């Protein structure tokens, strides 16, 4: 069955949503909101997105797009170029390889998966940035950011579920 141009465009838009959302989240994560201490522990929204879509719709999240989103966030947040990109790629890779374990299971299991996989990725990134800056970086902020991200994951995932159901389908 052939689709009309409008249908095709509609489908394209729907399929571009995960990547578009990632770009939006990358930008939103550097917008100043005026909450005390927020900038220090700003949750890694893009990482949550990378994990969610890697588990539920990996076909809509091509690694190259994820890579570019990571570089964009690095530029915006002035982190060493490539660190966020690497973090997203690692999370994506691990999540895709383990996705069968999460599909059709209760959400708590997915959450647990995110806790583990993001811990691995965050540790790796922390080590790399420490090596790059030639000194161990105080782990405090990194640990806080990890905890905040992990705690907020269900909330953000809820939004992703809505988007997934109503927009992406």
Q: Which parts of this chain interact with another protein (CB under 8 A)?
A: 27-28, 30-42, 44, 62-64, 67, 70-72, 75-83, 85-86, 89-90, 93, 126, 128-129, 132-133, 135, 137-138, 140-142, 144-145
Q: Which is nearer to another protein, 107 or 139 (CB)?
A: 139
Residue 55 phi, psi dihedral angles, 5° rounding: -80, -45
Q: Residue 147 and residue 136: Cα distance in Å, rounded?
A: 20
Percent helix, percent strand, percent coil in the chain, to nearest 5: 80, 0, 20
Q: Which is nearer to another protein, 47 or 110 (CB)?
A: 47
Shortest distance, CB of residue 165 to another protein, whole angstroms?
26
Shortest distance, CB of residue 159 to another protein, whole angstroms?
18
Asked if 95 and 51 count as a contact pair (C-beta separation under 8 A), the reply is yes
End-to-end CA distance of the chain: 19
Shortest distance, CB of residue 157 to another protein, whole angstroms?
20
Shortest distance, CB of residue 61 to another protein, whole angstroms?
12
Nearest to 91, CA basis, from 133, 140, 146, 168: 146
Shortest distance, CB of residue 19 to another protein, whole angstroms?
14
Q: Which is nearer to another protein, 20 or 63 (CB)?
A: 63
Q: Which is nearer to another protein, 130 or 161 (CB)?
A: 130
Q: Which is nearer to another protein, 80 or 103 (CB)?
A: 80
Asked if 3 and 11 count as a contact pair (C-beta separation under 8 A), the reply is yes
Count how many Cα atoms sit within 13 Å of the Cα of residue 89 in the half-sphere of its side chain.
14
């Amino acid at each position: 069955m052939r689709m009309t141009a409008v249908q095709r465009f509609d489908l394209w838009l729907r399929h571009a949503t995960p990547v578009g959302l990632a770009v939006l989240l990358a930008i939103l994560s550097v917008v100043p909101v005026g909450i005390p201490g927020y900038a220090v522990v700003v949750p890694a929204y893009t990482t949550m997105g990378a994990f969610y879509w890697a588990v539920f719709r990996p076909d809509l999240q091509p690694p190259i797009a994820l890579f570019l989103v990571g570089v964009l966030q690095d530029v915006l947040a002035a982190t060493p170029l490539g660190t966020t990109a690497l973090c997203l790629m690692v999370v994506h890779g691990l999540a895709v390889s383990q996705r069968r374990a999460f599909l059709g299971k209760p959400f708590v299991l997915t959450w647990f998966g995110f806790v583990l996989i993001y811990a691995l990725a965050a540790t790796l990134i922390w080590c790399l940035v420490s090596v790059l800056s030639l000194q161990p970086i105080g782990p405090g902020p990194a640990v806080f950011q990890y905890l905040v991200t992990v705690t907020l994951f269900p909330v953000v995932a809820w939004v992703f579920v809505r988007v997934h159901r109503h927009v992406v389908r």
